[in-house]
Amino acid sequence: MGRFILRRLLTAIPVLLGILAVVFAIARLIPGDPCIAALGERATEEVCNAYNERYGLNRSIPAQFAIYIGDVLQGDLGTSFRFNKPVTDLMIERLPTTIELSVAALTIAVFVGVPLGVISAYRHNSKVDVATMVGANIGVSMPVFWLGLMLQYLFAVQLKDTFLSLPPSGRLDAGMLPEPFWEKWGLPENGVFEFISNLVIVNAILTLNWDAFWSAFTHLILPAVALATIPLAIIARMTRSSLLDVLGLDYVRTARAKGQKERMVVLRHGLRNAMLPVITVIGLSLGALMGGAILTETIFNLSGVGKTLFDAIESRDYTVVQGFTLIIAVAFVLVNMVVDIMYTYLDPRVRSADA
């Protein structure tokens, strides 16, 4: 297993370098001057010359790329042109919001989508199957921005002052920001502790602040549901399709002929062997949620990776675009590695081939 992980990590290095090179080149091919985009009316020729000198934008593209790679290898992702602060500090502030949102959305998608797919496959061509697949098609077809607005209108306006009312935006109620756990525990401040404390739900649990936990949880429901709709529908359809193929195989008929209970046949012999393509979809969905939550974060006023990337592209903030893209690429690589490892546990043929 150690060799397997090491081999996957080594093959990821050229992938990450290629992504960095492409993003670096495309960011600089975008029309517009980053000085003018960042400073607006204050961007005189003298100011822009000093600006370009400060951030190295007056050097050749290969020289800029070589400097950037050297900085990345030293753990320095650069300084944001727009915010005038290190990109790592922006990540510590913004990435936890996207992680919480993505994990919550994927949890909803998996724990609802997989059972729906199993029920739909088991009751193939029944009314339940048709209703599930129609719902899945509707879920795939609904734009996230429209669904988010409709959820806000329903739960924050129409159901206001009822027990079903939910907050329409933000991460916490006003004035309810919990104390960072490392301060409460008397620990020294560092980037890792600050990152964890920005995971609002986790920090609320660590500080036993249940009011903040409930506020953060309720604020997360609507954006998570809106973001989960498309992956939920895809997971349900994939589970149904894969399980239908498996339930028609000889070993499933043999298990039934031996008198095993239908639930055991479907869940133990059928679902486990049908999960390989489903796990692939789940892994890809997590990576996509991490990088593609722009509309959801904008609608629900969440300062996460997606919204930060969008603002950085608009303002030609190259370092932020490169840094956040690198983090998303690393997340994709790690998720794919976890998916590969899960393959070895679910399918003995993959394990024997790897050996």
Looking at the domain assignment, is residue 316 inside a domain?
no
Q: What was the pLDDT predicted at 94? A: 86
SS3 (DSSP) at 75 = coil
Q: Which residue would you say has higher pLDDT here, 106 or 247?
A: 106
Q: Would you say how long the chain is, in residues? A: 355
Bigger pLDDT: 205 vs 54: 205
Q: Which residue has the higher pLDDT, 213 or 58?
A: 213
Say if 59 falls within a structural domain: no
Quickly state the pLDDT bin for 112 (edges 50, 70, 90).
Answer: very high
* Residue 22 domain flag: no
| Mean of pLDDT values over 252-261 | 80
For residue 112, which amino acid is it? V
Taking alpha carbons only, the member of 23, 108, 81, 8 closest to residue 327 is: 23
How large a percentage of the chain has pLDDT more than 90?
Answer: 6
What is the average pLDDT value for the chain, to the nearest integer?
A: 81
224 part of a folded domain: yes
Give start and end residues of each alpha helix (H) in 315-347.
Answer: 318-346
Q: Which of the two residues, 319 and 93, has the higher pLDDT score? A: 93
Tell me, yes or no, whether 282 lies in a domain: yes
pLDDT at 217: 92
- Per-residue model confidence (pLDDT) at position 349: 62
Q: Decide: 32 and 318 in contact? Cβ < 8 Å.
A: no
Does 322 map to a domain?
no
Nearest CA-CA partner of 236 in 287, 278, 293: 278
pLDDT value, residue 87: 84
pLDDT digits (tens, 9 = 90+) for 340-354: 777 777 666 665 555
Question: How many distinct structural domains can be found in the chain?
Answer: 1
Q: Is residue 57 part of a domain?
A: no
Q: Please tell me which residue, 188 or 1, carries the higher pLDDT value.
A: 188
Is residue 35 domain-resident? no
Domain span holding position 241: 92-304+328-354
Torsion of CA 293, 299, 302, 305, to 10 degrees: 30
At residue 261, the pLDDT reads: 80
Dist. CA 109–CA 78, nearest whole Å: 36
Q: Which two tokens stand for residue 345?
A: 């546990």
pLDDT score of 162: 87
258 vs 41: which has the higher pLDDT: 258
Whether the per-residue pLDDT at 245 is higher than 70: the answer is yes
Residue 205: give its domain's CATH number: 1.10.3720.10
101 and 224 Cβ atoms separated by less than 8 Å: yes
Place of tokens 């204050």: 42
Taking residues 320-346, report their average pLDDT: 79
Give the closest residue to 323 by CA, choosing from 165, 88, 162, 148: 88
pLDDT at 39: 66
Stretch 275-291: mean pLDDT, rounded? 81
With bands split at pLDDT 50, 70 and 90, how would you rate the model's confidence at 266?
A: confident
Of 101 and 2, which is predicted with more confidence?
101
Q: Which two tokens stand for residue 330?
A: 């690393």
Those residues whose C-beta lies under 8 Å from the C-beta of residue 145, and which sit 6 or more positions away, are 295, 299
Check whether 93 has a pLDDT greater than 60: yes
Residue 292 confidence (pLDDT): 60
DSSP H helical ranges for 188-209: 191-197, 200-206
Whole-model pTM?
0.82
Instruction: Report the alpha-carbon distance of residue 273 to residue 7 in Å, rounded.
Output: 26
Alpha-carbon distance of 355 to 350, in angstroms, equals 9
